[in-house]
Amino acid sequence: MEIESNKLKSQFLNFPGTRYMGSKHKIINDIWNHISDLKFHSFLDAFAGSNVVSYFMKCQGKQVITNDFLKFSSTISKAIIENSRIQLNEIDILILLSEKAVNYNDNFIQNNFNGIFFTPDENAFLDRTRSNIELLDNEYKKCLALASLIRACMKKQSRGIFTFVGQRYDDGRKDMKLSLKEHFLNAVDEYNACVFDNKQNNLSLNIPVESLDYKSDLVYLDPPYYSPKSDNDYTRRYHFVEGLCKNWEGLQIVEKSKVKKFKSYNSSFSKEESALNEFNNLFYKYKDSKIVVSYSSNSFPTKENIAGLLSLYKDKVIVNEIDHTYSFGNQSKDNLNNFVKEYLFIGI
């Protein structure tokens, strides 16, 4: 039993790191130290982002429900959290890399993103591979392949965000030198290695939290942090990989945008007033679960607001502080705004 549980925990080392904005990868062990004594079996990660927290909980043997309104986030979680056994094999990779298959997406990327993020050859590779993904015969294989293509784009794009044209921050890192195809093949290996069975029915969702209707023993809330100093718009930063994931279906590109972004999804967390109200709605909705909230010290609503609201629904509220340097937003690494305290509110 002990060996089995150690095996599950060492599986977490396979999780491929990203520079996802607000990722809890660096502090996941601190978070765990604060909540490991709580009794819970099912775990709902309502704003899963990079999925690092959900994947960690899968490795602890929990039953995980992971959710994000970004389709690309939930595609990754479907591939490595909901999926417990399907991997991409050599034949799948041959299909994915085939240059002869029919191109179903009418060279969308070559036609719309020429000269923006990647070279013409790389755009052709993306169009081809995106189209070949549809030839795979299994939903989880499609998610693994798509997750790998998304990872390739994020690794190849400097800073992993799509807010500027060209390689403005090319610092000569190895990631910038590898081709998109090399990144893609590396990512296939990395995500294949993430697939494992923790003997639970795990679920990946793609629902705006405002209409989420799933319950669990413990609910983890890590919403975007509203601050007047910077925007918390995830769609603006990651529009290209979100578009790639949806094949831009139903998304309208804002033509005057230099980076060809589409109109951002609405989130109650993008304005101070609606954020406070939505915290209240979420705390009410999950009043029968243990509630854990991550939030940062330079954001609104304030620490006092959140602790006050939570105590309306919970007998006991504990506020922990974790020192944390955020890996970025749009700011430079040494911007003081990035040195913040990360609060972890626990309502039981």
Rule CB under 6 A: which residues touch ligand SAM?
20, 22-24, 47-50, 52-53, 68-70, 73, 208-210, 222-224, 234, 267-269
Contact 310, 291 (CB under 8 A): yes
Q: Which is nearer to ligand SAM, 53 or 109 (CB)?
A: 53
Q: Which is nearer to ligand SAM, 125 or 191 (CB)?
A: 191
DSSP one-letter string for 113-172: STTTSS-HHHHHHHHHHHHHHTT-S-HHHHHHHHHHHHHHHHHHSGGG--SSSS-TT---
Q: Which is nearer to ligand SAM, 175 or 210 (CB)?
A: 210
Q: Which is nearer to ligand SAM, 86 or 259 (CB)?
A: 259
Q: Which is nearer to ligand SAM, 124 or 210 (CB)?
A: 210
Q: Which is nearer to ligand SAM, 129 or 206 (CB)?
A: 206
Per DSSP, the three-state class of 201 is coil
CB of 205 to ligand SAM, least distance (A): 9
Which CA distances in Å does 75 have to 7, 145, 245?
25, 10, 8
Per DSSP, the three-state class of 294 is strand
CA pair distance 51, 62, nearest whole angstrom = 14
Residue nearest to ligand SAM (CB): 49
Contact 24, 222 (CB under 8 A): yes
Hey, how many other C-beta atoms are within 10 angstroms of the C-beta on 54? 29
Which CA distances in Å does 241 have to 165, 181, 195, 308?
15, 16, 22, 38
